[in-house]
Homo-oligomer: A and B are copies of this chain.
Amino acid sequence: MSVLFDRVAFIGIGLIGSSLARVMRRDGLVREIVACARRPETLATVRELKLADRVTADPADAVAGADLVVIATPLSAYAEIGRRIGPALKAGAIVTDVGSVKGTAIRDLRPSLPETVHFVAGHPVAGTEHSGPESGFAELFDGRWCILTPLPGADAGVVEKLTKLWQATGSKVVTMGPEHHDKVLAIVSHLPHLIAYTIVDTATNLETDLQSEVIEFSASGFRDFTRIAASDPVMWRDVFLANREAVLEMLQRFTEDLTALQRAIRRGEGDKLQELFTRTRAIRRAIIEAKQA
């Protein structure tokens, strides 16, 4: 593939940012990579792993002269980053991000960005329970979705360029509105994580003797939840705060369904249980047919 950008600046370079940087390097999609991180340890790791040509702790310094700016920090840092990079952005630069919630990403970044730059928010739906630049790998996005949420009036050429970039990672790219994105992700990703965190928390609060057995016998279902519940705490704190309304709405529905199931168990309503458990099997089959399993 040919060069897509002269200079890219990563603001934040953890699991996602460093994985994207690795793809760009591997495929020669960019001439120069600049990485910006707040913590000196992160910058040292980036230097050591040669993930960037230049590192800096100053976002304004990082974005100066960049054609592409990828914001890949936790969501709570966006507003401040917007304020710091806004005046330093090159005219015509493309600004994008990789955050899991798009409504607040746009709300927090857009006001600080000058009219002369192109802003298209994005979300590669990929990740592992590990974090930090040392956890990234070029194959992370392979076969996964990347959702772009361009605003009305976005430059079609810019959307196409970002689409090419994400396609190079192996992702399938799709566009949708930011609100719709946040609703879909609330059910497929945010609620499952919330539930996983909770069940692991419930286990943590057990009497000590039971707790060690929970660890021993975890393979019987519990283990799958612990993997999800080991994801980055700061990133997930921000996701739940940023997508609060949609998450609370889905959580409400979930709680209602759980209460109905609890009632059926308490009353010994076997038929209801069996009917429900048969129904849920169909969704698994649909996922297998959609080649997502």
Report if A204-B248 is in contact (Cβ < 8 Å); known contacts: A217-B125, A222-B188, A287-B218: no
Interface flag for A257 (CB, 8 Å): yes
Is A210 interfacial (CB 8 A cutoff)?
A: yes
Is A5 located at the chain interface by the 8 A CB criterion? no
Q: Which residues of B contact A274 (CB under 8 A)?
A: 233-234, 237
Neighbour of A225 across the interface among B76, B192, B226, CB < 8 A: B192
Residues of B contacting A281 in the complex (Cβ-Cβ under 8 angstroms)? 229-230, 233
User: Are the C-beta atoms of B265 and A240 separated by less than 8 Å?
Assistant: yes
Contact with B along A208-236 (1 / 0, CB 8 A): 00100111111111111111111101101
Which of A62-70, A82-90, A158-166, A195-203 faces chain B? A195-203
Alpha-carbon distance between A58 and B54 when the two chains are bound, in angstroms: 77
Q: Which of B183, B205, B270, B276 contacts A197 (CB 8 A)?
A: B276
A255 at the interface (CB under 8 A from B): yes
- A265 contacts B244, CB within 8 Å? yes
Q: Known contacts A237-B273, A283-B226; decide if A248 and B262 are in contact (CB<8 Å).
A: yes
Check: A284 CB closer than 8 A to any chain B CB.
yes
Is A129 close to B, CB under 8 A?
A: yes
CB distance from A151 to the nearest CB of B (A): 20
Show 30 residue pairs from A and B whose CB-CB distance is below 8 angstroms, ordered by the A residue.
A129-B284, A144-B219, A145-B219, A184-B213, A184-B217, A185-B220, A188-B203, A188-B213, A188-B221, A189-B221, A192-B221, A195-B258, A197-B280, A198-B254, A198-B261, A199-B254, A202-B253, A218-B290, A219-B292, A221-B228, A226-B280, A229-B277, A229-B283, A230-B281, A233-B274, A236-B277, A237-B273, A238-B270, A248-B265, A251-B258
Chain A interface (Cβ within 8 Å of chain B)? 76, 125-127, 129, 144-145, 183-185, 187-206, 210, 213-231, 233-234, 236-238, 240-241, 244, 247-248, 250-251, 253-255, 257-258, 261-262, 265-266, 268, 270, 273-274, 276-287, 290, 292-293
